[in-house]
């Protein structure tokens, strides 16, 4: 036995120096680099680079099929005096503000309802999420048909009930059209808000509610002083996403109104598509879509700092 052990020790190869190849293969940082490579390649090539390119294009007079020359801030100056652009900014803000706040209110209400003890709870939850699963454009087409000027089922029902005498021109009238696209956006957004908030609600311990009830709290007080504070962090995240995606919405508007009537429903995204791709003026379109960036940053900042404040209030360390 001892001989064998001795022999194997003497014939053992000397410890090999780590070669460059070994470094690449096992070093934590290099390994991390290899693992990150595919994802980073996509994000840099098709996200970071276009983001920078978009800002550059907005400073040029590029058109489709022709790289532009640098013209400084001319596109932005042009937009500054463009009433249609300002109308689209107004529309976007109105659309985002109204749709997001109603989505939040109904979504929270629906989440509270779904958090009760219900029969068929799982099925209800699945059904509620369906509007979020179905492609937006396809449900927008259904809304287009529901809001048809001549054959709208809503107009028909209201006429049958004797509330109106003539069909409502849902998508042809400025204010009606705005209301309709906002409604369709709310319809699609509510399930997302509700289901996410429901996930947050289920982490709220019922014993808190029981204790509060024993102390004589009303149901409003229980919501205001127990549920709502505990839900704030998730509300901040959900609403950031909701605001972000409402603000940059494109497909719903494009499928329902294409910005009409008389630009009343043009959002910044649809206007930039119309100018850049249909009109062919890439520079101006890029300037319009870049004008969205400050608003987006503001939304992100607000939710970020809102979140920080909550953490601090709950006495957690700000790691």
Partner 1 sequence: MTDLPTSRIDLKAVLSGSSPTAARDDHSVGMSYLESLPRRLVTLYLPLSIIVIVLLFPFYWMALTAIKPDDQLLDLNTYNPFWTWNPTFKHIHKLLFESYYPLWLWNTMYVAICSTVVSIVASVLAAYAIVRLRYRGAQWIGGLIFLSYLVPPSILFIPLATVVFQYGLFDSPLALILTYPTILIPFSTWLLMGYFKTIPFELEECALIDGASRWQILTKIVLPLAIPGLISAFIFCFTLCWNEFIYALTFLTSVQNKTVPVAIVNEFVDGDVYRWGSLMAGALCGSLPLVILYAFFVEHYVSAMTGAVKE
Site for partner 1 in 245-274 (CB under 8 A): 245, 247-251, 254-255, 268-269, 272-273
Residue 70 DSSP label: B
User: Distance (Å, rounded) from C-alpha 209 to C-alpha 160?
Assistant: 46
Site for partner 1 in 129-148 (CB under 8 A): 129-131, 133-139, 141-143, 145-146, 148
CB 40, min distance to partner 1, A:
8
Given the complex with partner 1, which of 17 and 116 has the nearer CB atom? 116
Given the complex with partner 1, which of 128 and 177 has the nearer CB atom? 128
Q: What DSSP string describes 234-256? A: HHHHHHHHHHHHHHT--HHHHHH
| Cα end-to-end span (Å), the chain | 57
CB 85, min distance to partner 1, A:
15
Binding mask 160-199 for partner 1 (x = CB under 8 A): ---------------------------x--xx---xx-xx
Residue 156 DSSP label: H
| Residue 100 CA from chain centroid, whole number | 11
Q: Is residue 225 a contact point for partner 1 (CB under 8 A)?
A: no
User: Distance (Å, rounded) from C-alpha 267 to C-alpha 275?
Assistant: 12
CB 101, min distance to partner 1, A:
17
- 10 Å CB burial of residue 140 (0-12, 13-18, 19+) is buried
Residue from 69, 94, 124, 164 binding partner 1 (CB under 8 A): 124
> Which residues, in sequence order, are bridge partners of residue 66?
63
Contact indicator for 177, 265 with CB cutoff of 8 Å: yes
Token reading at 166: 């003539």
Contact indicator for 306, 236 with CB cutoff of 8 Å: yes
Given the complex with partner 1, which of 6 and 34 has the nearer CB atom? 34
Token reading at 163: 């509330």
Given the complex with partner 1, which of 84 and 244 has the nearer CB atom? 244
Site for partner 1 in 34-93 (CB under 8 A): 35-40, 42-43, 45-51, 53-54, 57, 62
User: Distance (Å, rounded) from C-alpha 78 to C-alpha 131?
Assistant: 40
Region from 3-11, 71-79, 126-134, 170-178 binding partner 1, contact rule CB under 8 A? 126-134
CB 226, min distance to partner 1, A:
12
Buried b (16+ CB within 10 A) or exposed e, 213-247: eeeebeeeebeeebbeebbbbbbbebbbebbbebb
CB 3, min distance to partner 1, A:
28
Residue from 149, 262, 293, 298 binding partner 1 (CB under 8 A): 293
User: Distance (Å, rounded) from C-alpha 211 to C-alpha 31?
Assistant: 52
Residue from 8, 11, 28, 83 binding partner 1 (CB under 8 A): 28
Given the complex with partner 1, which of 80 and 145 has the nearer CB atom? 145
CB 251, min distance to partner 1, A:
4
Residue from 102, 226, 234, 302 binding partner 1 (CB under 8 A): 234
Contact indicator for 199, 193 with CB cutoff of 8 Å: no
Q: How many residues bind partner 1 (CB under 8 A)?
A: 106
Q: Is residue 319 a contact point for partner 1 (CB under 8 A)?
A: yes
Count H helices, E strands: the chain?
17, 0
CB 77, min distance to partner 1, A:
19
Q: Is residue 303 a contact point for partner 1 (CB under 8 A)?
A: yes
């Amino acid at each position: 036995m001892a001989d064998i052990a001795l022999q194997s020790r003497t014939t053992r190869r000397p410890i090999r120096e780590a070669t460059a190849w070994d470094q690449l293969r096992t070093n934590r940082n290099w390994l991390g680099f290899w693992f990150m490579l595919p994802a980073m390649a996509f994000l840099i090539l098709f996200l970071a680079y276009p983001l920078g390119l978009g800002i550059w294009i907005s400073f040029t007079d590029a058109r489709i099929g022709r790289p532009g020359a640098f013209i400084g801030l001319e596109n932005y100056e042009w937009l500054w005096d463009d009433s249609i652009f300002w109308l689209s900014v107004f529309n976007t803000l109105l659309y985002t503000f109204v749709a997001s706040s109603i989505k939040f209110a109904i979504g929270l209400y629906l989440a509270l309802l779904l958090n009760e003890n219900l029969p068929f709870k799982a099925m209800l939850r699945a059904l509620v999420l369906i509007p979020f699963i179905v492609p937006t454009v396809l449900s927008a087409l259904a809304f287009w048909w529901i809001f048809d000027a001549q054959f709208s089922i809503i107009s028909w029902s209201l006429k049958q009930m004797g509330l109106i005498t003539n069909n409502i021109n849902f998508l042809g009238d400025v204010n009606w059209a705005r209301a309709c696209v906002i409604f369709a956006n709310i319809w699609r957004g509510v399930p997302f808000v509700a289901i996410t908030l429901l996930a947050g609600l289920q982490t709220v311990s019922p014993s808190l509610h029981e204790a509060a009830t024993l102390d004589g709290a009303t149901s409003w007080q229980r919501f205001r002083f127990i549920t709502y504070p505990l839900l704030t962090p998730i509300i901040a995240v959900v609403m950031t996403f909701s605001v972000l995606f409402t603000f940059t919405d494109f497909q719903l508007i494009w499928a329902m109104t294409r910005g009409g009537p008389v630009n009343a429903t043009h959002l910044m995204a649809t206007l930039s598509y119309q100018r850049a791709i249909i009109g062919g003026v890439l520079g101006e379109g890029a300037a319009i879509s870049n004008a969205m960036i400050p608003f987006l940053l503001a939304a992100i900042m607000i939710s970020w700092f809102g979140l920080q404040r909550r953490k601090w209030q709950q006495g957690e360390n700000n790691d």
